Structure 1
Amino acid sequence: MTLLRRAIQFFIVMSILALLTLISLYYYVKSDIPSVEVLRDVQLQTPMQVFTQDGKLINQFGEKRRIPVKIEDIPAPMLQAFLATEDNRFYEHFGVDPIGIVRSAFVLISTGQKKQGASTITMQLARNFFLTREKAYIRKVKEIFIALHIEQLLSKDEILELYLNKIELGNRAFGIGAAAQVYYGKQLHELTLAQMAMIAGLPKAPSALNPIRNPRRAKLRRNVVLGRMLNEKYITKAQYDDARSAPITARFHGAEIELYAPYIAEMVRSYMVETYGEDKAYNSGFKVFTTVESSIQEAAQQALINNLHSYDMRHGYRGPERILWSAEQSPLSTTEILGTLRKVKEIDPLKAAVVVDVAEQSATALLKSGDYITLPWSGLSWARAYISDTRQALPPQTATEILTPGMQIWVRQYEQQWQLSQYPRPASALVSMDPQDGRIKALVGGYSFAQSQYNRATQAKRQVGSNIKPFVYSAAFENGYTLATIINDAPINQWDKSVGVAWRPKNSPEVYNGPIRIRRALAQSKNVVSVRLLKGVGLERTADHLLKFGFADQDINRSESLALGSAAITPLEMARGMSTFANGGHLIEPYFIQELQDAFGNTLGKAEPLIACDEQQLETHPQRCAPRVISEQNAFLVASAMHSAIWGGGSWRHKTGWTGTGWRAQALKRRDLVGKTGTTNDSVDTWFSGFNRNVLTTVWVGFDDAGKPLGRAAYNSNLDSNQIVGAESGATTAQPAWVEFMRAALADQPVAPIEPPPGLISTRIDLKTGLLSNKNDHTSRFEYFESGTAPTKYALDEDNSTPFDDEPIQEELF
């Protein structure tokens, strides 16, 4: 009894000492123990992902790769692999496993080394969130106390879910969702048992046991995991044998970018950082769904690239990047050529190649990939030598006039064949949007984001040339002019006292028709008519009217050159302004983010744009309506004149037919399209803007070096008759990209014309005088007028005179 009593006393004393020691340790480290309340609102460092409207990944931003997953979405074998390897009693202990601690202590006492840890999954979670991997006793004490707190605060499933999303697994992959993507390019449910076991073996040493860096050690560790799963009866012997014999299939997989759209992705990144700050934007797991449609965005990028190459090709071939050997030297070996090509940075869609053989009308080249390709004559014949932006050499007759073995060149695939190519020197931008609410459907800021991050769609303020004229004409319609008003299309010679010279604005081309209706003047982009309209309305009144379309006051220079497009505006600003004519007079606000979600797919916000309302919407939901800046009738009259810019007018049978400057859009065979070209002096900047009711697109082409002319191209007898020749212009340089893009954007889309609104009348007028007509032949047409503005007089058969507007005849007319 005495022995028993002493044993009980010893146990009580030791228990008290242990309790006091535990309490002392708790108070010793208490100040260093963080509050685990933060786990209730844990924010995993998850990269921001940017998607198209239809869910294709454009880009992701953030240092850590993490794809958060819910525990109910994790396959059972994956959970079992981690439990069997890291903590097989996880669902039985209270955050600290006494059996594991005793086992670890025994190893320490018997060997004198800390070979085996006793950390439970909860303790590992505590360390991953709040502590370090340092093997120190005091850290282990803190780990235990934090683990106990966590177990009181969270359920077992919540703890396991946090652990599996937080844990580091190598190659910047954090959490099992990211690891599955990084190592196998798969989602969790697509992994095999062997692959799950491989990932479950990584927490012990993510770098040393990495299957990419050290496949042999990784395989041994995988098999240990499989063995523990077998011991725990999670898998059968047959499953174990099958998975154990599986080869190592891991390799590095980058982010699964499904659509490369860097300019729109950078716009999102910049907005999110500005709105939320860098840390929150990059690490909160935001999923940003943009407004761009993947197929349309892809078409926009391809149209811009093709158009720039077309320009560059008609201006001539500037020669190879360099020459690796000459005819007098021995050719390099294949290995040496590939060694050289590996150092070349390729710019999509261009591929670096070295010419190895040249026949009479073909050439063979070696790509960086090691593949040999053939350049047929159809991919070479364009390459007459470049002399200057305005001169090209004679067309080549053989491939040897263009290439010799040893040349390092650029090639690209076009229309299912290889083509000799070069990096285009001009720049370009394309913006397409829904004019009814401002949703950006596609946006391209340049040929290559890798070469230049400068977004010309949103940052390049360039002179707009004749793209300004619809706004000038809108001001005229607001001040009493009509589509039938006759203006004198004759040269202007105006003395400028301030500089002591005469200002002589000219048409381009220098063709003057004399008295001309406003509809035709806009359609044929008559410069002198635009100047006369500005003078008739007044410079200040016209400039103030242009501000209604969202243009900045500092960009609208208040001189008469404004009528010819001296204002500097970005393509996005131009698209926004033009949308007013497509939507009935409303100024919409462009937007590019449709929806914002958190890391788990919960919606944080959706775009609620102001829209172009009809009368019913204006009455029922006025708070949703974009502001009206011009009348619906004014917007339609401008759009109607722009329709003639594509489709022309008159009667070709009676030899009175005429074309508008945008006639190339007729290739789309859609009568619902309207448009306007734009070209500045010396063809420095070229534009085309066109639309129907649902899609509006603006294209700009020019050099980044502001003031550098785009030049002209001579006829190339090697090419077909559809080639573009002569001076570059909005119609020849920018519009082809617009046509190619709109062909894709409008495919399978219903016709959506700009419909005439109430408040207009249509009456037949005489084409020569703009007065009313009783005739029903080629000398007349129906014309639209705002109520109260139609002519009241009829044209007389014997009256050969032409009534002008109220503009006084001044001395500048000659």
Structure 2
Amino acid sequence: MLSHMRIRKRGNRFIRWALLSLACLPITLLLGLVILLLSAKIAGPMDIPSSRPAIFYDQHDQYIGKWDTTNRRWTDIEKMAPSIKLATLAVEDRRFFQHHGFDFRRIAQSAFIDMRSLTKAQGASTITMQYAKNLFLSNDKTWLRKFSEMFYTMRLEMNESKKEILEGYLNTIYYGHGAYGSESAAHVYFNEKAKDLTLAQSSMLAGIPNGPSLYSPFLHYNEAKMRQKIVLNTMVKSGFLTKKRAKIAYNAPLQLAHPEKNTVKKAPYFQDAVRHELTEKLHISQKALASGGLKVYTTLDSETQNMAEYWVKHTIPAYSNIQTALIALDPKNGGVVAMVGGRDYQTSPFNRATHAKRAPGSAFKPFLYYAALRNGFTPATRLKSVPTSFSFDHGHSDYSPHNFGGYYANKPITMEQALALSDNIFAVKTHLAIGMEELVNAAHRSGITSALAPIPSLALGSKPVSVLELARGYATFANEGARIKPELITRVEDDKGRTLYEWNPQRKQVLNRQTSFVLSQMMTGIFDKRLNGYTKVTGSPVARTLSHKVAAKTGSTSSDSWMAGFTPDLVAAVWVGYDKGETINTSPDTGYAKTIWSHFFEDALKGTPKNRFHPPDGVVRVRIDPKSGLLASKGCVGRPTYFVKGTEPTVYCEEINKKSLNHSTEKKTHHSLFNRLFHWWK
């Protein structure tokens, strides 16, 4: 009884405490708000940061550039065209003059729409909030950053007029192509002053900050026009325009300026990628980058970068509209040592090395043959290269690939030779035999992050990947199965020399070491004329350029040309093609990737040992007859070939007569694999 009364008393005390806390909550919140408002008022107006931009250095501590603050032109709001102010207000914050920094109506509407669609599709940031964030805060998603954004927003609203806030916003917002503020944007895009902008020009500019790369009329004119239409329609809804004026503005011709040919920056695509990493990955604020005197040390090797840019420039003729991209990285740690995102940064700053995704064609086959080596195949496994129609999906679908030029061996060839000749029939047979998921898994483990599908054409590289992804995947083979993460920044220091960020390279063993090495040695075969068959090895046009032992693979589709390869010290991938996927149908176009890659690689390896590949334990080297896949003897031409120990052939080619030749190596594989391949072998 006594115990029961004590429990009841404790329950009553808890209820009273809860009710008291609930009653005090509004007072506590109100007190907190008052303190926040007083703090914002006492803090006073906010100064625009002074210009002490972050300095960028390469891996040898040589200056390469800085955080770009040069393309800023502060202009009094009275000297801006009314149309740019109205267009910006309409699309970014139409109730700007009615709220005090926070548009609670818009916040509620945004929350309702997000809850209904179960997505984070609607934004509710006001111009004041964006101004505070862009100028003084980082892009991280923490509660502290949100609280700081609220504080700075209140501070701006309490100490500056709406006119001053709008002026600051319009002078600091980023419009792409290095243009900060409407004055710079007007000059970059139209070669005009902000006061002379037309409604058509203003509505185009106002749509760009939402996605400077996506809505740049220089890069994506159609998308920019769609965005302009949204801006104009919003201006109509806001009561700033009539439908007739909006229609006239949309249809008005826009004479775009040509991007200025300013002084060429060192590694401009690389520097852009570094800027993105600083803000989006390391979450360093633009204020700190523009005025904090930071030092940013990168992975770039300036000499290697110069080689990459030289061979791009001296390989593709100036009159050609074809584009290219190149990535070179150190496979041991993932540091990007060279990056070319296009032929001319001033004309097109879009980085094709990191942001574009294209079908790699046969350059994807190394991932397939790694999976095959792990599923019963060896470099000496033979399959017949003949025109074949493949049935899959339980007989509901057919697939009929073709070899380049319509050439076939019309007899069995080894996997080593199939890779060197880039035989598509052999690849698809292998893909279906081992199970199509095996290739998907091997590629993803190697570092390919793009979506892949277990379909027959995946063996021929039908799914798009980026140049950086392919280089990362090849780096895993160069590392004997250890995957790395590509990186650009090694260290960031503040103006006092204190380290704000330091890179800690990490490797993860994701593939079998012995199998990865065997594959790498198979990939050297694209330069070896001893593997010539019904056609020449795919690296033959540039084989004489190379004096080092290199593992590589070419790739091509109707609109893409690739070459990628590696040594244990360097990985490089090159893509050549047209931005809009136009067909590559001329001989020079199809050879540019090989030429750029081979000359760059040879220059980059100058002064290093001719062969840096060293076999791990568990691998054996034997001489193989490329035609039969058997051990070479006096009567057969031999080529040194590596095998995982225990999988190498044991029969010499001269011991086998022609009648039994077509069956000997097939018996080396396990019975389930034999059964799947038998109807293609016949």
- The one-letter code of the counterpart of 2:595 is P
SS in 2 for 1:762: strand
Deviations 1:321-347 (A, max 9, x none): xxxxxxxxxxxxxxxxxxxxxxxxxxx
Query: What CA distance in whole angstroms lies between the structure 2 residues aligned with 1:780 and 1:299?
Result: 37
CA drift at 1:807: 3.8
Seen in structure 2, the aligned counterparts of structure 1 residues 496 and 481 have a Cα distance that, compared at 3 Å, is closer
Equivalent of residue 49 in structure 1, options 37, 55, 67: 55
Normalised by the length of structure 1, the TM-score is: 0.50
**Aligned pairs for 1:131-210 within 5 A:** none
- The one-letter code of the counterpart of 2:66 is N
Q: Could you tell me which residue of structure 2 aligns to residue 492 of structure 1? A: 388
Equivalent of residue 696 in structure 1, options 543, 563, 571: 571
Deviations 1:93-122 (A, max 9, x none): xxxxxxxxxxxxxxxxxxxxxxxxxxxxxx
Q: Could you tell me which residue of structure 1 aligns to residue 379 of structure 2? A: 483
Seen in structure 2, the aligned counterparts of structure 1 residues 777 and 793 have a Cα distance that, compared at 3 Å, is closer
Q: Could you tell me which residue of structure 2 aligns to residue 755 of structure 1? A: 614
Seen in structure 2, the aligned counterparts of structure 1 residues 304 and 666 have a Cα distance that, compared at 3 Å, is same
Give the gaps of 5 or more residues in structure 2. 1-38, 73-261
Does the 8 Å contact 2:279/2:286 carry over to 1?
yes
Q: Could you tell me which residue of structure 1 aligns to residue 238 of structure 2? A: none
Seen in structure 2, the aligned counterparts of structure 1 residues 505 and 33 have a Cα distance that, compared at 3 Å, is closer
Equivalent of residue 311 in structure 2, options 303, 308, 320: 303
Does the 8 Å contact 1:492/1:813 carry over to 2?
no
Query: What CA distance in whole angstroms lies between the structure 2 residues aligned with 1:455 and 1:645?
Result: 29
**Residue 785 (structure 1) aligned with residue 643 (structure 2):** yes
Equivalent of residue 58 in structure 1, options 49, 54, 65: 65
Seen in structure 2, the aligned counterparts of structure 1 residues 499 and 798 have a Cα distance that, compared at 3 Å, is closer
Query: What CA distance in whole angstroms lies between the structure 2 residues aligned with 1:278 and 1:737?
Result: 37
Deviations 1:418-466 (A, max 9, x none): xxx43x3111100001111111110011112222221110111100000
**Aligned pairs for 1:375-390 within 5 A:** none
Does the 8 Å contact 2:336/2:486 carry over to 1?
yes
Q: Could you tell me which residue of structure 2 aligns to residue 534 of structure 1? A: 431
Query: What CA distance in whole angstroms lies between the structure 2 residues aligned with 1:657 and 1:780?
Result: 18
CA drift at 1:601: 4.5
**Residue 572 (structure 1) aligned with residue 468 (structure 2):** yes
Q: Could you tell me which residue of structure 2 aligns to residue 661 of structure 1? A: 538
Percent of residue pairs bearing the same amino acid type: 30
Deviations 1:445-495 (A, max 9, x none): 111222222111011110000001111000000112111111211211235
Query: What CA distance in whole angstroms lies between the structure 2 residues aligned with 1:501 and 1:479?
Result: 25
CA drift at 1:58: 2.4
Query: What CA distance in whole angstroms lies between the structure 1 residues aligned with 2:657 and 2:425?
Result: 26
**Aligned pairs for 1:710-729 within 5 A:** 710-713=584-587, 724=588, 728-729=589-590
Does the 8 Å contact 2:625/2:636 carry over to 1?
no
SS in 2 for 1:569: coil
- The one-letter code of the counterpart of 1:740 is H
Normalised by the length of structure 2, the TM-score is: 0.60
Query: What CA distance in whole angstroms lies between the structure 2 residues aligned with 1:589 and 1:480?
Result: 30
Q: Between Structure 1 and Structure 2, how many residues are aligned?
A: 443
Equivalent of residue 544 in structure 1, options 441, 444, 456: 441
Q: Could you tell me which residue of structure 2 aligns to residue 136 of structure 1? A: none
Q: Could you tell me which residue of structure 2 aligns to residue 583 of structure 1? A: 479
Farther off after superposition, 498-507 or 799-808 = 498-507
Query: What CA distance in whole angstroms lies between the structure 2 residues aligned with 1:550 and 1:304?
Result: 26
Deviations 1:491-514 (A, max 9, x none): 112357899875221111322122
Does the 8 Å contact 2:407/2:535 carry over to 1?
no
**Residue 736 (structure 1) aligned with residue 610 (structure 2):** no
Seen in structure 2, the aligned counterparts of structure 1 residues 755 and 776 have a Cα distance that, compared at 3 Å, is farther
Seen in structure 2, the aligned counterparts of structure 1 residues 790 and 498 have a Cα distance that, compared at 3 Å, is closer
Q: Could you tell me which residue of structure 2 aligns to residue 439 of structure 1? A: 335
**Residue 524 (structure 1) aligned with residue 421 (structure 2):** yes
- The one-letter code of the counterpart of 1:466 is S
Query: What CA distance in whole angstroms lies between the structure 1 residues aligned with 2:586 and 2:396?
Result: 32
Does the 8 Å contact 2:407/2:534 carry over to 1?
no
Q: Could you tell me which residue of structure 1 aligns to residue 208 of structure 2? A: none
Seen in structure 2, the aligned counterparts of structure 1 residues 58 and 776 have a Cα distance that, compared at 3 Å, is farther
Seen in structure 2, the aligned counterparts of structure 1 residues 52 and 764 have a Cα distance that, compared at 3 Å, is closer
Q: Which structure has the bigger radius of gyration?
A: 1
Deviations 1:355-387 (A, max 9, x none): xxxxxxxxxxxxxxxxxxxxxxxxxxxxxxxxx
Seen in structure 2, the aligned counterparts of structure 1 residues 807 and 426 have a Cα distance that, compared at 3 Å, is farther
- The one-letter code of the counterpart of 1:673 is V
Query: What CA distance in whole angstroms lies between the structure 1 residues aligned with 2:679 and 2:522?
Result: 30
**Residue 709 (structure 1) aligned with residue 590 (structure 2):** no
- The one-letter code of the counterpart of 2:528 is W
Does the 8 Å contact 1:56/1:294 carry over to 2?
no
Does the 8 Å contact 1:485/1:518 carry over to 2?
yes
- The one-letter code of the counterpart of 1:769 is S
- The one-letter code of the counterpart of 1:710 is I
> Which structure has more helix as a fraction of its residues?
2
CA drift at 1:278: 2.3
Give the gaps of 5 or more residues in structure 1. 1-30, 66-255, 310-420, 611-625, 714-723
Query: What CA distance in whole angstroms lies between the structure 1 residues aligned with 2:568 and 2:495?
Result: 37
SS in 1 for 2:401: coil
SS in 1 for 2:300: coil
Query: What CA distance in whole angstroms lies between the structure 1 residues aligned with 2:388 and 2:71?
Result: 65
Does the 8 Å contact 2:65/2:266 carry over to 1?
yes
Seen in structure 2, the aligned counterparts of structure 1 residues 45 and 736 have a Cα distance that, compared at 3 Å, is same
**Residue 470 (structure 1) aligned with residue 366 (structure 2):** yes
- The one-letter code of the counterpart of 1:709 is T
Query: What CA distance in whole angstroms lies between the structure 2 residues aligned with 1:482 and 1:810?
Result: 17
SS in 2 for 1:677: strand
Seen in structure 2, the aligned counterparts of structure 1 residues 59 and 299 have a Cα distance that, compared at 3 Å, is farther
Query: What CA distance in whole angstroms lies between the structure 2 residues aligned with 1:470 and 1:747?
Result: 26
User: RMSD of the TM alignment (CA)?
Assistant: 3.4
SS in 2 for 1:521: helix
- The one-letter code of the counterpart of 2:521 is S
Does the 8 Å contact 1:693/1:752 carry over to 2?
no
SS in 1 for 2:643: strand
Query: What CA distance in whole angstroms lies between the structure 2 residues aligned with 1:636 and 1:798?
Result: 29
Does the 8 Å contact 2:399/2:456 carry over to 1?
no
Does the 8 Å contact 2:408/2:534 carry over to 1?
no
- The one-letter code of the counterpart of 1:285 is G
Query: What CA distance in whole angstroms lies between the structure 2 residues aligned with 1:648 and 1:462?
Result: 30
SS in 2 for 1:666: helix
**Residue 266 (structure 1) aligned with residue 140 (structure 2):** no
Query: What CA distance in whole angstroms lies between the structure 2 residues aligned with 1:462 and 1:743?
Result: 26
Query: What CA distance in whole angstroms lies between the structure 2 residues aligned with 1:798 and 1:33?
Result: 94
- The one-letter code of the counterpart of 2:301 is E
Seen in structure 2, the aligned counterparts of structure 1 residues 796 and 747 have a Cα distance that, compared at 3 Å, is closer
Query: What CA distance in whole angstroms lies between the structure 1 residues aligned with 2:40 and 2:413?
Result: 86
SS in 2 for 1:555: coil
Q: Could you tell me which residue of structure 2 aligns to residue 802 of structure 1? A: 662
**Residue 284 (structure 1) aligned with residue 292 (structure 2):** yes
CA drift at 1:32: 12
CA drift at 1:798: 5.2
Seen in structure 2, the aligned counterparts of structure 1 residues 609 and 483 have a Cα distance that, compared at 3 Å, is same
SS in 2 for 1:512: coil
Seen in structure 2, the aligned counterparts of structure 1 residues 766 and 57 have a Cα distance that, compared at 3 Å, is closer
Q: Could you tell me which residue of structure 2 aligns to residue 745 of structure 1? A: 604
**Aligned pairs for 1:215-614 within 5 A:** 259-274=265-280, 275-309=283-317, 421-422=318-319, 424-495=320-391, 502-513=398-409, 514-552=411-449, 555-610=451-506
CA drift at 1:561: 0.3
Query: What CA distance in whole angstroms lies between the structure 1 residues aligned with 2:393 and 2:444?
Result: 28
SS in 2 for 1:441: strand
Seen in structure 2, the aligned counterparts of structure 1 residues 741 and 782 have a Cα distance that, compared at 3 Å, is closer
CA drift at 1:62: 3.1
Query: What CA distance in whole angstroms lies between the structure 2 residues aligned with 1:425 and 1:677?
Result: 22
Q: Could you tell me which residue of structure 2 aligns to residue 637 of structure 1? A: 518
